[in-house]
Structure 1
Amino acid sequence: MLPLAAKSQDPRISCAGIDLICWFVPSPEEVTPAYDLPRDREEGGAKVGQKAYSTGDAIVNAKTAGMTKDLDISSPEYEWLLTIFYISYIVFEWFALMWKVLPPHVWACFCVVGWGTVATLQSAAQSWSGMMAARFFLGFFEAGYGPGIPYLLSFFYLRHEIGIRIGIFLSAAPLATCFAGALAYGITSGHAAIANWRLLFLVEGLPCVATGILTFFVLPDSPEKARFLNEEEKAVARARGVRQVGAEEERVGGVKWADIAAALVDPKNYLTAFMYFSCNVSFSSLPVFLPTILNEMGFSSINAQGLSAPPYFLAFLVVIISAYIADRTQQRGYVLMCLSVIGAVGYILLATTSSVGPRYTGVCLAAAGIFPAIANILPWVLNNQGSDTKRGAGIAILNIVGQCGPLLGTRMYPTGDAPYYRKGMWVCTAFMIFNGILAFTLRTLLNWENKRLDQKYGEVGRRDANGIVVGENPKTGEQIGAGVGDENDGPTFRYVL
C-alpha cells in the first residue's frame, strides 16, 4: 500500500512519508517504477548503445570487406584510423558532465544524431585522410553519449539496483558486436552495386540518425517527466531520489566545483581508472582484430565474420549474470577478481596454443572476462562517490584515464606478428591479472575506509535485502535513514566493497 504522504495532493513528500517509503521498500508501488524505468531508460539506452558500438566496430568489418585495399590504406595508417577515434574520445570525455547541465533528452539527441550522421558519411570516404576526419568526429559525438548514460541512471536507481541496469546498457557492446559480425557476414557475402564496405557503413549508420531523433521524444529527463509513470508512481520515484541524496532538489542544472576538486584528489578514483585502462587494453584489441585472428586461424574472411559472433553473445550473457550477482551481494570486488581470472585464462590459451579449438575457446573466455569486468567497474565508481557531482567527475576521470588503454590495445597486433600474435596476447594477459590485483587493492582500501567511518560515526547497523541501512547510530541514537540520504557523504554513507 502506498504511504499516505505519497497519496497527498501536495507535490512534495513529507519526511515522514519518505521514511515510510524507505522502511517499507520494496512495496508493490515502488516495484512498479523500479521496473518501469528500465523499460524506457536503460533498455532504450541499450538499443541506442547497440547502434553506437556497431557503428564503432564497423571499421573492423569494413577492413575485412576490402576497405583498406580500395582506399590503399597501409597497416600503420589503419592503426591510426583506430587511434584517432580514441584520441577524440579521450579529449572530450568531460562531456559526461553535460548530462547534469543540459536536459538529457536534448543532449542524447545531439550526440546520437551526430554520430549516426558521421558514421553514414564514412561510406563516402575516398581517401585515408577523409576517413581520419570521420573517425575523429565519431569519437567526438560518442564521448558525449556512452559515459553519460551510466551516470544518468544513477539519478534514477539506488546503489543496489544500478549494477544490473548498467549491465543491461553495457551488454549492448558485446551484443552489438555479435550482431555486427552477423550483419557484416550477410552484407559482405552478397554482391551489391557498391563496395560491400560502403554498404556496411550505410546500413549501420542511417538507423542511428532515426534513433537519435526518436530519443528526443521518448527519453525522460526525470521521474516527474516520465510519461509511463502515473502520479503515485512518480511520488514514489521522487522519494527514492530523496533516499539517495537526502533532500528533494533538482539534480540536473549545474555542478559543484568543490566536489569536482575532491574527486580529482581521491586516490580511489584512480584505482578504478587504471582498472578501466587495463580492461580497455584488451577490450579494444579483441573486437578490432578478432576477425583478422579468426582469418589467420584458417577461416575465410566471410566465415571469420560469422564466427566472431558467438564469443560476444557469451559475453553478453555473462555481463547480465555478473552484474546481477554483484548487485545482490554488494561485493563488486570479488566479482571483478573472478572475471579478471577468466579473461587472463582466455588470453593464456591464445598465447600458448596453435590449434583452432583451444584458440577459439580462448577467444570465448577472453570475451567473457573483459566485457563483464568493464560492466562491473562502472557501477563500482558510481556506488562509491558521495554526491551527484562527484559521481559525474568520477565517471569523467575513469574514462579520461581508462580510454587511453585502447591507444595501446589497438597497436598490439601488427601484421608481422601473424598468425598467432603471441606478444599481444601476453600483454593482454598481464593487464587482466593487473586488473584483478587492482580490484583486490581497492576492495581492501574501501574496507579500511568503512571501518574508519564506523569509528567516526558509529556502526550504522545492518543493511536489509535491498541494501537499505536499518537500525540506529549507537553514538547519537538517531534513527538511520530519517531524512538522510544513504548514498551521499554523511553518517550513513558506506562504501560498496
Structure 2
Amino acid sequence: MAVDTSQVKSESATGTSADREQPSSVPRSSNGVPSQGVHIDEATEKRLVRKLDRRLVVLAFLCYLAAFLDRSNIGNAKTAGMDTDLGIDDGAYQWLLTIFYIPYILFEWLALMWKIVPPHLWAFATVFVWGLASILQAAAYNWSGLMACRWFLATAEAGFGPGMPYLFSFYYNRRELGVRCGVFLSAAPLATTFAGALAYGITQGSYSIASWRLLFIIEGIPPLILAFVVYFMLPDSTDNAKFLTEEEKAVARARALRTTGHGEMGTSKGTQLGRIDWSDAFGAFKTPQVWVQALMYFSCNVAFASLPVFLPTILTGMGFTSVNAQGLTAPPYFLAFLVCIFSTWLGDYTQQRGLLITALSLIGCLGYVLLATCKTVAVRYAGVFLAASGVFPAIANILSWLLTNQRSDTKRGIGIATMNIIGQCGPLLGTRVFPTSAEPYYVPGMSICAAFMFFNAILAFGLRTYFARMNHKWDGQAATVRPEGPAWTEDGKTLSEEAEHMPAAGGSGGGAAAAPDAGWENSSDWRYAL
C-alpha cells in the first residue's frame, strides 16, 4: 500500500508549502512538495496524476476546443459571405459579436456550479446546449435568428469554460495546476488555427448550401458528441472515479488532506455535494488580488476577444484574398498554442508567474504597436505573431495565478467568478473598436489593444511586488514566534483570531480553523505564489 491511511490524518497536520525552501530531511512527494511525514509512493502519485490528466485535462481540452471553434467562427462565416447573404451591415455584425458577451457577463457566477452540481451532469448540460445552438446558426435566415442562437451559445459556454480551471484546483496542487490550465487554455489558439484551416478548405469548395452554413454545421457536431462522452467519463471526485485503483485513491486522499484538510479530491465529499462557505465568500472580496487580477483579465480580454474574429478581415486588408486570409490565420495561433503550454509549465517550475505575465503582456503590446504603426505587410504579419503569442499565454497564466493565491476552494470559486464577470466586460470594448471605417489598418483598435496590454504588464508587476512584500512580512512574523506558535492569515492575524472564517478540516463549514488537521492552506507555511 502506497499510503499508511491510519497516519494520514495526523501526519498531514503541519501542512505543506509548494514554493518555500524546507529542510532537506522533510520527505517530499514526486512533485517537489514536502510531504510532512505522509508516506506517498512517488510512482503511485505520478500514475495518479497521469490518469487524472488523461481523463480530466484531455476532456476539458477537447470541449474547450469545440467551444472556441463555435464562439469564433462568426468571423470566418463573415469572410465566407454570411453578411452578404443575410444583408448584415457593419453595425449589425458588431452586435453579433457583442451579444455573445452579454450573457457571458450575466452568467459568470455559474462557475460556482462546478462545486454545487456533480461535474459530469453540469458538463453534459452546458456542452450539449452550446452544440445545439451552434448548429442552429446554420438555419438562421436573418439577423434576429443569429442573435438568438448566439445568446444561448454564450449562456451555455459561460457555464463551462470559466469554471474549468476552478475544477482543476480540486485535483492539482500549485506546482501542477498552472500547466494544466495552460493546456486547457491553449485550446483557444489551437481552435483558431483549426478555424482558419477549416474555413480555408470550405471556401474553396462548391456546395448545395452556402459554405458559411456548412461551417456552422460541421463545427457544431463535435460538442454534441462530447456532451455524452463527458457524462460517462468525467469524474466527480477521486473516491468515485472508477478508473483509479484503491491505492491511487488513497494517495489522492493523502494529497487532499495535506493541502486542504479535506480527505477527498473533487467537488463532492462522498455522497454529499460541495457547499459554499459564505464567510469565505465574503472574505474573498477583501483580498486585493481578486480585484487586480479581474482588471488584468479585463485588459487581456480586450485583445483576446477581438483578434480571432477580426484577424481574417485584417489580413484581407493587407492585400490577401479571402481564401488566403483564412489560411494565414493559422500559423500565428499555432505559435500561441505552443507558447501557452510552455509558459505555464515555466510558471509552475519557477513559481514566478508575475514576471512571466509582465513579459508576455509586453510582447503582446509590441505586436499591437507594430500593427498600429507599420504599413509593410511583412512587419504587420510579424506583429500578428507577437500579439497572439502574448495575449493567449498571458490569460492562461493569470487564471492559474489567481487560483494558487486563494486559501480555500470557496475563495477560489469567488475569485474565478469575479474575475470573469469583470473580465468579460473587456470583449464589449474589444469587439467594437474595429469598425469598417478604420480599414485597412484599424489604427484605433490596434492602439487600444496595445494600451491595455501595457496596462496589464503594470498590474502584473505591481501585484507581484505586493505579494513579495506580504511574504516578507509573514516571514518576519514567523521568525518572532515559537515553532508551536500561532499560524498567520492573509490579514496578519492569527488563525485563532480568524477561526470562524476558515474551513473546517472535514468539510466546508466554519470553525476549527486552527485545528492541526486544517491542512497547509490554513497553516503559517502558506505564502503567495509570486
Q: TM-score range by the shorter chain?
A: over 0.9
Distance 1:257 1:473, change over 3 A: same
SS in 2 for 1:254: coil
2:198 to 160, 178, 183: 183
Which residue in the other structure is 2:10 paired with? 15
2:99 to 60, 84, 87: 84
Which residue in the other structure is 1:437 paired with? 458
Greater alpha carbon shift after TM alignment, 207-216 vs 395-404: 207-216
1:230 to 245, 267, 271: 245
Distance 1:338 1:17, change over 3 A: closer
Quick check: which one's helix share is greater?
1
**Alpha-carbon separation, structure 1, partners of 2:41 and 2:83:** 55
1:256 to 277, 282, 303: 277
Distance 1:398 1:459, change over 3 A: farther
SS in 1 for 2:223: helix
Which residue in the other structure is 2:90 paired with? 75
Which residue in the other structure is 2:2 paired with? 2
Greater alpha carbon shift after TM alignment, 253-262 vs 397-406: 253-262
1:96 to 111, 114, 133: 111
Q: Quick check: 1:173 aligned with 2:188? A: yes
Equivalent pair of 1:100/1:253 in contact (CA under 8 Å): yes
Distance 1:297 1:473, change over 3 A: farther
Amino acid paired to 1:254: R
**Alpha-carbon separation, structure 2, partners of 1:245 and 1:207:** 37
SS in 2 for 1:282: helix
TM-score in terms of structure 1 length: 0.92
Equivalent pair of 2:2/2:40 in contact (CA under 8 Å): no
Any stretches of 5+ residues in structure 1 without a counterpart?
461-471
Equivalent pair of 2:70/2:219 in contact (CA under 8 Å): yes
**Alpha-carbon separation, structure 1, partners of 2:480 and 2:86:** 65
Distance 1:473 1:49, change over 3 A: farther
Amino acid paired to 1:44: L
Equivalent pair of 1:459/1:474 in contact (CA under 8 Å): no
Q: Quick check: 1:118 aligned with 2:133? A: yes
Q: Quick check: 1:492 aligned with 2:525? A: yes
TM-score in terms of structure 2 length: 0.87
Which residue in the other structure is 1:156 paired with? 171
Q: Quick check: 1:308 aligned with 2:325? A: no
Which residue in the other structure is 1:406 paired with? 427
SS in 2 for 1:41: helix
Q: Quick check: 1:329 aligned with 2:362? A: no
Distance 1:244 1:198, change over 3 A: same
Which residue in the other structure is 1:139 paired with? 154
**Alpha-carbon separation, structure 2, partners of 1:69 and 1:473:** 73
Write the deviation string for residues 20-56 of structure 1: whole angstroms up to 9, x where unpaired.
7624667111111122211111111101110000010
Equivalent pair of 1:279/1:435 in contact (CA under 8 Å): yes
Equivalent pair of 1:151/1:392 in contact (CA under 8 Å): yes
Equivalent pair of 2:313/2:325 in contact (CA under 8 Å): yes
Distance 1:430 1:473, change over 3 A: farther
Which residue in the other structure is 1:46 paired with? 61
Amino acid paired to 2:105: I
**Alpha-carbon separation, structure 1, partners of 2:308 and 2:426:** 14
SS in 1 for 2:289: helix
Q: Quick check: 1:367 aligned with 2:388? A: yes
**Alpha-carbon separation, structure 2, partners of 1:69 and 1:175:** 28
1:205 to 216, 220, 223: 220
Equivalent pair of 1:109/1:212 in contact (CA under 8 Å): yes
**Alpha-carbon separation, structure 2, partners of 1:484 and 1:16:** 12
The structure 1 segments of at least 4 consecutive aligned residues displaced by more than 6 Å after TM superposition are: 17-21
**Alpha-carbon separation, structure 1, partners of 2:121 and 2:479:** 44
2:445 to 414, 424, 428: 424
**Alpha-carbon separation, structure 2, partners of 1:360 and 1:82:** 24
Amino acid paired to 2:11: A
Which residue in the other structure is 2:258 paired with? 243
SS in 1 for 2:239: helix
SS in 2 for 1:131: helix
Amino acid paired to 1:433: F
Percent of pairs with identical residues: 53
**Alpha-carbon separation, structure 2, partners of 1:80 and 1:136:** 11
Equivalent pair of 1:458/1:474 in contact (CA under 8 Å): no
